[in-house]
Chain A
Amino acid sequence: KAGVTQTPRYLIKTRGQQVTLSCSPISGHRSVSWYQQTPGQGLQFLFEYFSETQRNKGNFPGRFSGRQFSNSRSEMNVSTLELGDSALYLCASSRNWDTSSGNTIYFGEGSWLTVV
């Protein structure tokens, strides 16, 4: 079956611009979460959506936002981009929001964002 699909894979933006990243979860998965990965900070949780509702949010400024659609696809948006936003943004999906056995979390290939 198809895995988690993220688009675009690579993009370059300038400071002050905004960016939207897209994530299509595995079919049947209703939970989507987003992570930022940088060499300095490692992997950090951004937010999680389940059934179009944001369930959790990490410690990121309000410039980072997201949403989930009725088909479970999710988008994240970063406004007023800063150089420090350059990172790999990973999306993950799971069947449900809980972490019981069997509810494995699968990741996409990520979107590489460079802010210049």
Chain B
Amino acid sequence: AQKITQTQPGMFVQEKEAVTLDCTYDTSDQSYGLFWYKQPSSGEMIFLIYQGSYDEQNATEGRYSLNFQKARKSANLVISASQLGDSAMYFCAMTLLMNRDDKIIFGKGTRLHILP
């Protein structure tokens, strides 16, 4: 069965420091996509970054980068120079190209607190 594991329920980080949010995934499919979303208290799920299973280079989007280690089935999100506005819930998610049952499989999330 497909599964996303986020082992950090909560994190406290000082402003301007870099942050790494952990994500491991489990699937026997070869074709899949990995997403990170940010969810502030308002509820909106904001797309941050995407990594395809066949992409050889790690994805980057501004201050966000995805540390993709396929052999370890790891897709950690790195936020450089954290800001107060980064305080939110962060979800790692996976989609499977062939298994269409669940569309997106989400982890339980990590609540990130940025301290001034």
Q: Which residues of A contact B (CB under 8 A)?
A: 33, 35, 42-43, 45, 48, 55-56, 58, 88, 90, 92, 97-101, 104-110, 112
User: Which residues on the B side are within 8 Å of A45 (C-beta)?
Assistant: 102-105
* B47 sits at the interface (CB 8 A): yes
CB proximity of A42 to chain B, nearest CB, Å: 5
CA–CA, A88 and B100, complex, Å: 23
Contact of B50 among A33, A92, A101, A109 (CB under 8 A): A101
Most chain B beta carbons < 10 A, residue from A42, A90, A92, A99 = A99
Q: Which residue of chain A has the shortest Cβ distance to B91 in the bound complex?
A: A43
Q: Which of B66-98 contact A (CB under 8 A)?
A: 91, 95-97
Interface of A is mostly: strand
Sampled A-B contacts (25; CB under 8 Å): A42-B106, A42-B109, A45-B103, A45-B104, A48-B100, A56-B100, A56-B102, A88-B43, A92-B45, A97-B100, A98-B97, A99-B96, A101-B33, A101-B52, A101-B54, A104-B35, A104-B47, A104-B50, A105-B35, A105-B47, A107-B37, A107-B44, A109-B42, A109-B44, A110-B45
Q: Which residue of chain A has the shortest Cβ distance to B97 in the bound complex?
A: A99
CA–CA, A92 and B91, complex, Å: 15
Q: Are A55 and B100 in contact (CB under 8 A)?
A: yes
CA–CA, A63 and B108, complex, Å: 25
Give 8 new A-B contacts, CB below 8 A, not counting A99-B32, A100-B33, A101-B33. A43-B104, A45-B105, A58-B101, A58-B102, A104-B35, A105-B35, A109-B42, A109-B44
CA–CA, A56 and B47, complex, Å: 22
CB proximity of B31 to chain A, nearest CB, Å: 8
